[in-house]
Amino acid sequence: MSTLSADLRRAAATAPGKEALVAGERRMTYAELDAAASALAARLHALGVERGDRVAILLPNSIEAAIAIYGALRAGAAFVPLNPTIKADKLAYVLSDCEATAIVTDDQLAALAEEASGHAPSVRHTLRAEQATDARGARSCPAASVSWPGGARSRPAPTTTAGPINVDLAAIVYTSGSTGRPKGVTLTHANMMFAAGSIVSYLGMHVHDRVLCVVPLSFDYGLYQLLMCVRVGATLVLEKGFAFPGRVLELLEREEITGLPGVPTIFQVLASAGAGAVAHDLPELRFLTNTAAALAPTTIEAIRAAFPQARLYSMYGLTECKRVSYLPPEQLDARPESVGIPIPGTEAWIEDDAGNRLPQGGVGELVVRGAHVMQGYWNDPAATAERLRPGRWPWERELMTGDLFRQDDEGYLSFVGRRDDILKSRGEKVAPKEVEAVLHQADGVRMAAVVGAPDRMLGQAIVAYVVPHDGAQLQAAVLRRHCAQHLEDYMVPSRVELREQLPTTPNGKIDRRALAEDAAATPAAR
């Protein structure tokens, strides 16, 4: 029974009373999580959701989000995790693109879900998580029971109840594409089970682990924390975000956290906040993982000083295969800039433009093969063909990462740069075209170009250059506000620079390199 839902069933059968989830004051055991997932699956079936349907999940990190993921899977559906800061236009686009049948959300996000569903005819049901309340109306704790009101127009339950098998679609995870339109990465149970197993093996995760997840479950990094914990029967402590380092340090201690996944922004904040002051109280903390972008050497130093007992893993990956590589922690001193070796059970190498494997030291595109490689982009054969090409065997496809790497003489990989113009800010991918399209919708904008500037906290800060129409009175603050109303938080430009014209290249295109240099040279305004 090698499906994600079977992982949960096994964990619940092995240790029903074991703590599966902690969120704020609420705690849930594996037996409770398993029962809650089954209850939601039954509800979805009753509403007519069938095996293979897509169920969108619009929830912050919460017990309900975990139930929704396993409930959708148990119903035989594929889940589509969505960032809760998504705006209505994009949500409608994604729901239509994946032809979601149902959306699972909460009271706070229900209005957004309804607004977007109005433009997505496939969506027949909106379910809102409702925590069980006791007689006095207080939320019961532990909240073993969550009900799912909503979802009108009930249909007869499907006649077939056969569960999914591991070649079935398990999830579609949307990621920014360089065209500015999000692309749906399709992953089967086999893809996700393999990737989770591989990561579990190199981290040495086990049933006694307690992982603190402050990164969103809507992105694969957060999502896999849940999948991996359920795989090994460990405990996942969920936080809605990383706003208060004091809170995170308190949780590390109180919940006896053994693993903390983070991105550079998080580790930078922890380091600069002087986390070292309390680190000696954290004997349980065993591993820290970093991905999305490289840690600055000074941050590595500060983090290791603050958490001397924890092993720090530098990793690299992309949603299209979850993870490519990790650096064994004992190599960190020798190769601080490296993201290591391919994850167990996979291969990765570097090629030149003609497709020849490059010898050590050469710079070229990183190519990946293994059971973690996605099946393609949903509904987008052209984009799929750009990333996946025929592999060693007739049935196999290899992933062209689009990222430039170098390999040292012992095979360790180092990131060199991206081939496309996608930016990475706060560990999230940002397509300049997506931000530019939103800026173009604002009144008075004649031209807009978005570039990245190196930033200690963000990795790259998003900087927008805007040329107004003749006579238009534009204000940077108003344009940032416009962006905040139409883009996820991490895509909103840190700075908007108003110009009378933009530099161009000899063939008349906007000179993005010149703008990036300008952005890097101008000190951050905030």
Binding site for other proteins (CB under 8 A): 85, 240-247, 249-250, 265, 269-270, 272-275, 277-278, 426, 457-458, 477, 480-481, 484, 489, 492, 526
- In the chain, what's the furthest Cα-to-Cα distance? 73
- Do β-strands 311-316 and 325-327 pair in parallel, antiparallel, or remain unpaired? antiparallel
Closest among 82, 136, 137, 139 to 113, alpha carbons compared: 82
Half-sphere exposure of 255 (CA within 13 A, CB side): 30
In angstroms, what is the minimal distance from the CB of 27 to other proteins?
A: 20
In angstroms, what is the minimal distance from the CB of 214 to other proteins?
A: 9
Closer Cβ to other proteins, 249 or 341, answer by number: 249
In angstroms, what is the minimal distance from the CB of 100 to other proteins?
A: 24
Closer Cβ to other proteins, 118 or 274, answer by number: 274
Interior CA angle at 450 toward 449 and 455, to 5°?
150
Closer Cβ to other proteins, 447 or 457, answer by number: 457
* Residue tagged 């360790």 (tokens): 412
- Which residues 6+ apart lie within 8 Å of 84 measured at CB? 58, 59, 60, 109, 216, 218
> Alpha-carbon distance 65 to 305, whole Å?
35
Amino acid sitting at position 450: V
In angstroms, what is the minimal distance from the CB of 16 to other proteins?
A: 34
In angstroms, what is the minimal distance from the CB of 397 to other proteins?
A: 37
In angstroms, what is the minimal distance from the CB of 59 to other proteins?
A: 15
In angstroms, what is the minimal distance from the CB of 516 to other proteins?
A: 21
In angstroms, what is the minimal distance from the CB of 265 to other proteins?
A: 7
> Alpha-carbon distance 288 to 437, whole Å?
37
* DSSP notation for 243-263: --HHHHHHHHHHTT--EEEE-
Question: What does the CA dihedral 284, 287, 290, 294 come to, rounded to 10 degrees?
Answer: 110
Q: Cα 405 to chain center, whole Å?
A: 22
Closer Cβ to other proteins, 367 or 463, answer by number: 463
Closest among 462, 458, 339, 350 to 402, alpha carbons compared: 350
Both structure tokens of 423 = 């930016």
Closer Cβ to other proteins, 204 or 246, answer by number: 246
Other CB atoms within a 10 A radius of the CB of residue 58 amount to 27
In angstroms, what is the minimal distance from the CB of 302 to other proteins?
A: 11
In angstroms, what is the minimal distance from the CB of 246 to other proteins?
A: 4
Closest among 130, 168, 167 to 53, alpha carbons compared: 168
Helix (H) or strand (E) holding 416: strand 413-418
Closer Cβ to other proteins, 75 or 279, answer by number: 279
> Alpha-carbon distance 31 to 39, whole Å?
12
Closer Cβ to other proteins, 85 or 186, answer by number: 85
> Alpha-carbon distance 309 to 312, whole Å?
10
